[in-house]
Amino acid sequence: MLTLNHFLVLGALLFCIGLYGALAKRNAIAVLMGIEVMLNAVNVTMVGFSFFNTVKPYSTYLTGQIFAIFIITVAAAEAAVALAVVISIYRKRSTVDVGEINLMKW
């Protein structure tokens, strides 16, 4: 018998693994991969809430799934812009190490 807690705990596990990847990695693209894992964890949680929702006016409008669609849209835009930034920095500095990218440090 699946309950909502299964999906919430799964989303929490995925979220903290992605958070570790985003915080601990030196390669900027690995940081982006951690952020993608975190966004997927939030999507799992949203779709789980949408499936187990019984509150009447909201469960008929599938609010969680619509929310997940907008998260996917924004994640695609974020990936495109962030990878363009990474490639642009690589052209100027020849590195993708986030510890060495200090253009805005005073």
Partner 1 sequence: MDLATLLFWIIAIILVGSALLVVGMRNIVHSALALVVLFGMASGIYLLLNAEFIAIVQILIYAGAVTILILFALMLTRTNNISTNSNPTNRQWWLAAIISTLVGAAIIFAVTLSQYSTVHAGSGVAYGTSACALPPNNVVYIGQLLYSPTCYSYVLPFEIASLVLLVAIVGAIVIGRED
Nearest approach, Cβ of 78 to partner 1 (angstroms)? 8
* Residue 55, amino acid: V
Residue 61 CB neighbour total at 10 angstroms: 11
**Shorter beta-carbon distance to partner 1: residue 81 or 103:** 81
Nearest approach, Cβ of 1 to partner 1 (angstroms)? 7
Nearest approach, Cβ of 67 to partner 1 (angstroms)? 10
**Shorter beta-carbon distance to partner 1: residue 27 or 104:** 27
Residue 2 CB neighbour total at 10 angstroms: 9
Nearest approach, Cβ of 64 to partner 1 (angstroms)? 9
**Shorter beta-carbon distance to partner 1: residue 22 or 106:** 22
**Shorter beta-carbon distance to partner 1: residue 26 or 104:** 26
Class of residue 73 by CB neighbours under 10 A (exposed 0-12, middle 13-18, buried 19+)? exposed
- Report how far residue 93's alpha carbon sits from residue 13's, in angstroms, rounded to the nearest whole number: 36
